[in-house]
Structure formats: structure tokens, C-alpha cells
Amino acid sequence: MDNKASKDQLIIPIYLNEKTVLDMLAIMEDGFSMVSEISSSNQDISSTNVKVGGGISTKAILDKLLKIQLDGSLQKDKNASTTSESKLEKVHTNVSLLSKFRTRLIDNDMMICKAGENLDFSKIETGDFIELEGELQKNPMIDIMEKFVDVFRMAEIFAEKPELGSKKMATEKRNSDKATLKQIKSFLDELKHTGTVDFILENPNGTLVVSAQEQYLSNDNISEILGGTFKILGKVIKVCKNNEEGINLLRKTTLNILDRESLTNFMTIFRDPDLAQFNLPEVRFIIESPAAIVIPIAIYA
């Protein structure tokens, strides 16, 4: 049996929906065994006493879902000629299961697109598995709101001390800024209240909106995803192919009840000329077609 692993199988995930990986593998293999035993025998001539004991405690998903606890012990006794038999127990980790699941998708021709291949939005459908590679960007709405908070924070740090006669005016402005900042933070909380965060992946042929759940992020740190090039394995849940369609980045908030014209008017507050000096990101709440929403199973390098 050839156990050589390819470079594509040696992956380092920074986002992993472990339960989905287990569920998909269980369906594909009609249930599967997490522990396998390999028996081997050998003849030992005049060996010394050796006893090896060990415990293997699975971590993360194995502990949580399968509660597997393994203990192994191997005993060799000194004899002129003895035959010993050992049993080795092998356990999958969450990452090795992800690698196995990805391999199954490829072997069964169930992945519509692999990293490095050209994605044709006209051919993908809801329910397809896809893998793309690129640099993820934060939801533009969340990004600009966080930048606004930073702007107010820096303005407070570098604010000049008011002259004696203008203290009242400075106090009024400071109170106004605090009220505005409170509103921005409330809106930011509204964007994040579902526990999911949208990331944008630009592709030459269209745009993917990756709807990730914060609980599956490595170390619960969103910043680990930003600034690097990663592969995303996921399942398509919506495809926008026509010009009339689009993905609303505010769809998870109460602002989703507003029509596009009302939202456009609302967004004009972020185009204030006085804010141009701060190099804020582009304001957009609609991702135009061709586009698709993907539920990520894993994000990895």
C-alpha cells in the first residue's frame, strides 16, 4: 500500500467546519471507521525486556463528537526465540479528514472547479462544490465601519487643545462625535450579530461572497485570513448570472428591508468630501453579477 502524500494533501487550515467534513465523509462512505488496526508479527532472537506504553487522546472534533480514547501497550519478553505480535492503532485528525474529503471529491469528479482553474460562472449551479484560490477581502461595509471607528479614535488622540474662548464649541463637537461613533458601533454590531462574516473573493470572471462563521476560525481571529493567498473549499448556495441580480451585503441586517434606491441614498453619508483624506475603502453594498455566495467548508494554505 502506497502511503505517500502529495503536496496538495498537506494542507494547513485557518478555517475548518469540522462537523460538515465528518457529515460529508460519512455520507460518501456510508459510515466509516475512525480507528483501524494493523497487525504485524516478527521473530525476536534473544531480546531484552522492553515495555512501551502510550496513550493517544484525540483532540478537537474527535473528542467533541466521537469521544475516542486510545491506549496502546507492547510487551516483549526475553526468550531464546519468541514470536511477538503488535497491533498499531491509527486515528484521523480533523485536518487529515479534510484532506481525505477533498481527495474523495476530486476522485469522484464532484468538484466543479479546482484552485488554479478557470471558473465559469455560467456553468456553476447551486449545490456545486468549488475550490478557488485568491486573496480574501473583508465585507466592504464592515471594513468601512471599522475604519470610521479608527478615524474617530485617531482624531481624539491627535486633537489640538482648544483655546480658552472655544472650549464650549470644542466640547459640543466632541459630544457630537461621540454620538456619531456610538451610532457607527451599533451599525457595526448589527452587521456582525449573526455570527457570520462575509468575505469577498474577486475573480477575473466574477465575484464570490464567502459567508464564514466566526466560530470555525483558527484562534477566532479574522485577521489571519486577510493579507494572504488561500484556497477556499466550499458549497455554492446562490448564483447570480443576470445583470438584474446581485448579492446584498446588508442582507443579514434590518437594512435589508430598504430598496436599492433608499440604500443608495443612505450610503451617501460615507461619500462626504471631508473624509477623502482618510483613504477609506470603496463603499458598496451590492455585489453585481456574475457573482455567487459560497458557504466555506475550509480555508487553507
Buried b (16+ CB within 10 A) or exposed e, 20-31: bbbebbeeeeee
- pLDDT score for 74: 44
Q: What is the pLDDT at residue 87?
A: 66
230 and 296 Cβ atoms separated by less than 8 Å: no
Residue with the bigger pLDDT between 44 and 219: it is 219
Residue range 18-36: average pLDDT?
80
From residue 190, how far is each of 61, 199, 250, 254 by CA, in Å?
A: 30, 16, 9, 8
Residue 52 has phi, psi (to 5 degrees) of -120, 125
The confidence score (pLDDT) of residue 246 equals: 87
pLDDT score at 55: 44
Domain ranges in the chain? Answer: 133-300
Please answer whether residues 286 and 267 qualify as being in contact, where contact means their C-beta atoms are separated by less than 8 angstroms: no
Total-model pTM: 0.69
Eight-state DSSP code of residue 157 = H
pLDDT per position as a tens digit, 116-156? 888 888 899 999 999 999 999 888 888 878 877 877 777 76
